[in-house]
Amino acid sequence: MALTDYKALTFDVYGTLIDWETGMVNGLKPLTDKVGGLTRDTILEAHAFHESTAQKWTPGKPYSQLLATVYKRLAEEWRVQVDWEECLAYGASVKDWPAFEDSADALAYLREHYKLVVLSNVDNASFAQSNEKLGAPFHMVYTAEDIGSYKPSPRNFDYMLENLQRLGIHKQDILHTAESMFHDHGPANRFGLANCWIYRRHDKEGFGATMHPGDMPKYDMVFNSMAEFAAAHKAAVS
């Protein structure tokens, strides 16, 4: 199918529209400065493990609280003493995570042509702050806090699809748009959703702040940025 064949774009936010890796590395500096010698990828890969583990074992915990637990686990792994207030400060750092420079403009353009939907592993209060950075373009927002679980749980996709169907948006109308192979493209494959890879890490090795997906999921299209995505749509309708 072509870009013009879809009615809705369902978005992952963190890693796709918000530069969460930069946000994480900056937010963890009070901890990593005490350790020293850690590479960016070492930090992100450790974070990915503890975040996905916490999401699996405490799926109902709001993301800001879950991040505080991740900070505590990282401190233990790196043998650094921290207090709970420091952990909570990291949990509140999502508000400081920057948007990718092209996200807001691309979303503003795409909103003219699609329903824009969020399916994100975040709590509502944290997302509200990110949403402002993105220009508040979304028609529907489904968070992990709403659903009580975190992607890649199938519950999150079931919840989204059930709600969108009530609004007249069916599975064949959706292009799931995301960076993470682990959280998004694997489940999209299992649900039979068309999917678009926003390959933000195209110039880097590994999977950064997400877990290795195992067998690489398939994808229907790929762009290295949201600016490329928007440009491809403009070309398709010109």
Beta strands in 121-236 (DSSP E): 140-143, 174-178, 194-198, 221-223
Q: Which of 11, 5, 1 is nearest to 164 (CA)?
A: 11
Spatial separation of the C-alpha atoms in residues 77 and 220, rounded to whole Å:
39
- Alpha-carbon distances of 12 from 33, 169, 214, rounded to whole Å: 30, 18, 20
Q: Which of 105, 100, 71 is nearest to 13 (CA)?
A: 100
Spatial separation of the C-alpha atoms in residues 76 and 192, rounded to whole Å:
40
List the catalytic residues: 12
Spatial separation of the C-alpha atoms in residues 91 and 71, rounded to whole Å:
8
- Alpha-carbon distances of 32 from 15, 17, 90, 131, rounded to whole Å: 21, 25, 12, 28
Q: In 128-160, which positions are buried (b, 16+ CB within 10 angstroms) versus exposed (e)? A: eebbebbeebbebbbbbbbbebbbbbeebbebb
